[in-house]
Amino acid sequence: SLGSKLTLADHTLYINTPFIKNTFVETKVGGLNRMAIITVGPVLHRCGEADIPMPGGDRIGLRPLDFHINGLRQMGAEVVERDGRYHFTAPRGLHGATINLPFPSVMATENFLITASLAKGVTIIQNAALEPEIIDLIKFLQKMGAIIEIKVDRRIVIDGVEKLHAASHKLLSDRNEAVSLAIAAYLTKGDLYLRGAQQDTLLTFLNTLSKMHLRFEIDDDGIRFLGDGPPPPAIALETDVHPGFMTDWQQPFTVLLTQADGMSVVHETIYEDRFGYTQALQEMGAHIGLYAKCLGEVQCRFREQQYAHSCVVRGPTPLKATQLDIPDIRAGCSYILAALCADGLSEVYGIDHIERGYENLDRKLRKLGAQIERVQERDLVV
């Protein structure tokens, strides 16, 4: 809707934006997730104004846009909030600034990397996120002519340039999909080889598997996950920013912990409201207790705030089939994983959430032997 010409062929996306024809992102598109905020910087550079809806996306915590808006203001943007939308202008253009992130937000770091690459002067992002996807974005921007340095203390320094040029880039494989499919193999006692899975982006996940005596084999082309062993032992884990255990892995991994032997502890330190999905797992037979206390090794930023951000999982417990309504992307995948190892036929509603984060997940699982079928609600037998 902004004017880009997009062509998708053989998993390659070609993007050409000779001009911006519209600075207004429609709610029916931009309100579905949080990606519209990423368009603001580039559109301000080219047009001097941008208008986006308030974000939608997964209900896993507060996730305000304050980090983005405050940083853009530091860089010279002016913003007005009205009628459920944000209207940005940059009457004197965007300039460099020192942006201190209160938390190393991945999307905020991405936003400022892109915006600062064309801003006048030097931008410093302090307490920046350093996830593999951030490094990959920096590589792409560097190919386009950006000047970006990563310092040792979570600082990223960007020296703005006048123009970026076109470039080609091969993206990282999706580590969230790799983790989800690997867990499916362990839950169903399967044998799965993931071609293209990258060890260097999965180090913490693989270390956790090793602690649970779960088998995997790594070669130059991918990773093989072998689920032929006995129930793994219980474990204590907590989510963290990279290089810690990724928060997006927490939900599918908790399903795996329902089949572990003993009492497992999960401490969520990234989002304050990411255990809502466990109620459905409890209805399937899982033994899960939620706690507002920090049950991990460190006291996190949610301490004394009464958020249920820790859980204890007792296993192994057999799961039984049920009807499930998906609240967000990772919870949806977790429900499908739970249904794969549950006794009976489960019905999972709201698969549009899953499709925002997984490409043809049902087709891939069928290829691996899962009995899974996509149907319209009117075709379901009640």
Q: What is the pLDDT of residues 55-69, one digit of tens each?
A: 765 554 445 789 999
pLDDT band at 1, cuts 50/70/90? Answer: confident
CA 271 → CA 38, 86, 188, distances in Å? 21, 24, 29
Residue spans of alpha helices (H) in the chain: 27-30, 36-47, 66-74, 106-116, 132-143, 175-187, 203-211, 247-257, 278-283, 329-341, 351-355, 361-367
Tokens describing residue 311? 């859980």
Domain regions of the chain by residue span:
5-159, 175-379
Across the range 141-151, mean pLDDT stands at: 98
Q: Homologous superfamily of 5-159 in CATH?
A: Enolpyruvate transferase domain (3.65.10.10)
Q: Give the rounded percent of residues in the chain with a pLDDT score beyond 70.
A: 96
- What tokens appear for 157 in the block? 């320094």
What is the reported pTM?
Answer: 0.91
pLDDT of 318 over the 80 cut: yes
Nearest residue to 309 (alpha-carbon basis) of 337, 290, 334: 290
With both helix axes pointing from N to C terminus, report the angle between 66-74 and 36-47 in degrees, rounded to the nearest 10.
Answer: 20
Residue 56 is encoded by which pair of tokens?
Answer: 């939608």
**Tens-place pLDDT, residues 113-127:** 999 999 999 999 999
Question: How many angstroms separate the CA atoms of 298 and 169, rounded?
Answer: 38
- We find that the CATH architecture of domain 175-379 is Alpha-beta prism (3.65)
List b or e across 226-257, with b for residues whose CB sees 16 or more CB atoms inside 10 angstroms.
bbeeeebebbebbbbbbeebbbbbbbbbbbbb
- Starting at the earlier edge strand, list the strands of the sheet with 262-267: 236-238, 262-267, 310-315, 287-291
Confidence of residue 375 (pLDDT cuts 50, 70, 90): confident
Which of 10, 51, 58, 228 is catalytic? The answer is: 58
**What is the rounded distance in angstroms from the CA atom of residue 302 to the CA atom of residue 295?**
11
Give the whole-angstrom CA distance, residue 7 versus residue 148.
Answer: 29
- The least confident of 130-139, 170-179, 277-286, 298-307 is 298-307
| Element (DSSP H or E) covering residue 98 | strand 98-100
Query: What average pLDDT does this structure show over 267-271?
Result: 94
Does the N-terminal peptide bond of residue 104 adopt cis geometry, omega within 30 degrees of 0? Answer: no
Residue 23 in contact with residue 51, Cβ under 8 Å?
yes
Whether the Cβ atoms of residue 314 and residue 274 lie closer than 8 Å to each other: no
Among this protein's residues, is 248 annotated catalytic?
Answer: no
Describe the strand order of the beta sheet including 49-53 as a list of residue ranges: 49-53, 85-89, 78-82
